[in-house]
Amino acid sequence: MTVPAPLVRRLAVVGAGLIGGSLCLAARSRGLAQRVAVIERDAAALAEASRRGLAHEASADPGAARGADLVVLAVPVGAMGEAAAAVAPHLAEGTVVTDVGSVKGAVLAAVVPALPFPARFVPGHPIAGRERSGAAAADADLFEGALVVLTPEPRTDPACATAVRALWAGAGGRVLTMDAAEHDRVFAAVSHLPHVVAYALVGALLDLEADQGPLVRFSAGGLRDFTRIAQSDPIMWRDICLANREPLLKSLARFRHVLGALEAQIAAGDAAGLLQALARAREARRGMSS
Ligand code: NAP
């Protein structure tokens, strides 16, 4: 892909984790920014960011955002407000700010009051990731072909949305826009619910093991496949669950209803009903890309 380079002179990314680190690497390797600075409070993550050469500058000082055309907040959802407040005194009137949080309503509520120029904030969420977290897992190609959702508000300056769109397109993303509430409803169902269910399943197996003795060591690929996402970072998922509480609770209620129906069919020996429910789900699963 040909990228009009560089898109920004100075890019500052707050949070040298999987997503922030990957964006730094993508920006460097694809020439999206003349200069990349990463801001990270954790000494070990900062050292790893320097060791891997994620950015031209790696610093614990939020003042490294000074002079940036574009600032990306890439910290856990519960830390977004704090991260925005830390960089706020260093933002110029022209600086565009975006974030990568997995929940949009709560991030808007936390970040907007902390920023001096709210119209220049463009909320975003790259739909890319993996179970590993931290700077060590950063990958320049993480966003190649990935969907990136932006949730600009009516007050958002369209030129800022265009700049953020160009950054993600340059990193390989397929960018679309959505209303923040719609985003949170959709991702509660397709991402947050499956993570909670995976964590719950592992929790249930631990409880069963406490009662019955060893179980998990007898498992095969099915359990591994199903619970892969329960290896994800617990802080990140705690924040997502609490920040997207209402839509997630709605999705969980629907899941409990469907699980309850399956349980009732099993208890009643309802072979026809059970077969119909399993076949319906298999058909739908086969229609999804693997
Ligand atoms: P991560 O690998 O754990 O990285 C987060 C980094 O932010 C850590 O180095 C953390 O340092 C740092 N941090 C936390 N609070 C901070 C603060 N107040 N100021 C500066 N740095 C701070 O997490 P990630 O997977 O990159 O996730 C980052 C964001 O991306 C989250 O909002 C998440 O919802 C979103 N996201 C994640 C994925 C995914 O699959 N991982 C996908 C899409 C979007 P400490 O160790 O000191 O906490």
Average pLDDT over residues 226-238: 95
Cα(75) to ligand 1 centroid in Å equals: 4
Q: Which atom of ligand 1 is nearest to the CA of 45?
A: 9
Cα(21) to ligand 1 centroid in Å equals: 10
Cis peptide before 6 (omega within 30 of 0): yes
Q: Which mutation among 14, 18, 103 tests ligand 1's pocket best, with the greatest number of atoms within 8 A of CB?
A: 18
pTM (two decimals):
0.95
Average pLDDT over residues 188-216: 97
Cα(74) to ligand 1 centroid in Å equals: 5
Ligand 1: which residue has its CA nearest to atom 35?
101
Confidence at 129, pLDDT banded by 50, 70, 90: confident
Confidence at 59, pLDDT banded by 50, 70, 90: very high
Q: What is the pLDDT of residue 4?
A: 52
174 has pLDDT over 90: yes
Cα(278) to ligand 1 centroid in Å equals: 37
Q: What average pLDDT is seen over the chain?
A: 96
pLDDT in tens, 145-173: 999 999 999 999 999 999 999 999 999 99
141 has pLDDT over 70: yes
Q: What is the pLDDT of residue 89?
A: 98
Average pLDDT over residues 200-227: 96
270 has pLDDT over 70: yes
1 has pLDDT over 60: no
Q: What is the pLDDT of residue 3?
A: 46
Q: How many CB atoms lie within 10 A of CB 266?
A: 12
Q: Which atom of ligand 1 is nearest to the CA of 21?
A: 26
**What tokens does 181 get?**
């509430």
Confidence at 284, pLDDT banded by 50, 70, 90: very high
Average pLDDT over residues 98-126: 98
Q: Which atom of ligand 1 is nearest to the CA of 15?
A: 7
Average pLDDT over residues 216-241: 95
d(CA 198, CA 72): 30
Average pLDDT over residues 132-146: 96
Q: What is the pLDDT of residue 5?
A: 56
Ligand 1: which residue has its CA nearest to atom 8?
17
2 has pLDDT over 50: no
